[in-house]
Amino acid sequence: MRIIIEENYNALSRKAAAIIAREITVKPTAVLGLATGSTPLGVYEELIKMHKKEGLDFSGVRTFNLDEYYGLNPEHPESYHTFMFKNFFEKVNVKRGNVSIPDGMVVDVDQFCTDYEKHIRDGGGIDLQLLGIGRDGHIGFNEPGSSLASRTRLKTLTEETVRDNARFFGRKGQVPHFAITMGVGTILEAKKLLMLASGENKAEAVRNAIEGPVSSQVTASALQLHPKVSVILDGPAASLLKRRDYYAYVEKMASQVQAEVET
C-alpha cells in the first residue's frame, strides 16, 4: 500500500488527478470506477482543467459509479446521477453511453445488481477505482459489518451515515436510508485502487484502515489485501498514523529513484 501525504486538500486533489490522467493517457479506453461526495470534488475539478487546457481525452473512457441512493430518481438534485453529471460528466467529453451509475428507482434490485456486476466484467473490469472513506471506515456504502466478499447489492445505511449526509439534504429525515452499492469484493477486483481522505474527522478511520487489523467492521481495511493501492491524504487526515514519518520517507526515496532514472 502506497501512502502519499500531501500538504493540503488542493495538493491531494492535484496528485490524485495526475494519477487518473496518467491511467487514461496510457490506456485511452480505461475503465474508471468513480466515487461521489465532497472529497473527490477537487479531483474532478482538476481533471476538467486537464481536459480543457491540456486536451485530456475522455472519449474512450468508460465509467462505473460505486453507488446510488435507493429511492431517488436520476433527476433528483441529491442523486449521485445529478452529482456526477453536474460536477464532472457534463464538463468533459465522456460519452453518455459509456457512463454507468446504479439505478435508484429499479424495481428488481437483485437482478439489477447481478446485471451491474456482469456489465463491469463485460467491460473488461475496472482499471482504476477511486474511493473515499467514511468516518466509520466504510468504502462505497459498505457499512461496518459488511462482508469483505460482498457484491453489488442493496444496503441499509447506518444512522451515522444518514447524519453525515444530512447536510446535503437539508435535514436528516430527507436522507434515504438505503443505497445500491458495489460490494467490498467487487471493489477489490479493480486492477488498481486509489483512496482519498481529507480532514481531521477522517483521521481515526484512516488509521484503522491502514494500520489496524483487516476487519469487516472497517471495510476500508480490506484494501490491505489488494496488491496495487495508493492512498492520498492531507496532513490532518494522516495525523494519527503511527508510521507517518516512514511513509513520507518511502515517498522521498521513490522520488529520488525516479529522478535518477529520468536523468
Catalytic residues: 67, 136, 138, 143
Count Cβ neighbours within 10 Å for each residue of 143-182 and write b for 16 or more, e otherwise: bbebebebbbbbbebbeebbebbeeeeeeeeebbeebbbb
Q: Which of 88, 110, 104 is nearest to 20 (CA)?
A: 88
Q: Assess contact for 126 and 33: CB atoms under 8 A.
A: yes
Tell the burial category of 240 from Cβ atoms under 10 Å away from its Cβ (0-12, 13-18, 19+).
middle
Sign of the dihedral through C-alpha 182, 165, 157, 39: positive
Q: Assess contact for 132 and 80: CB atoms under 8 A.
A: no
Which residues on neighbouring strands pair with residue 129, listed in sequence order?
Answer: 33, 193
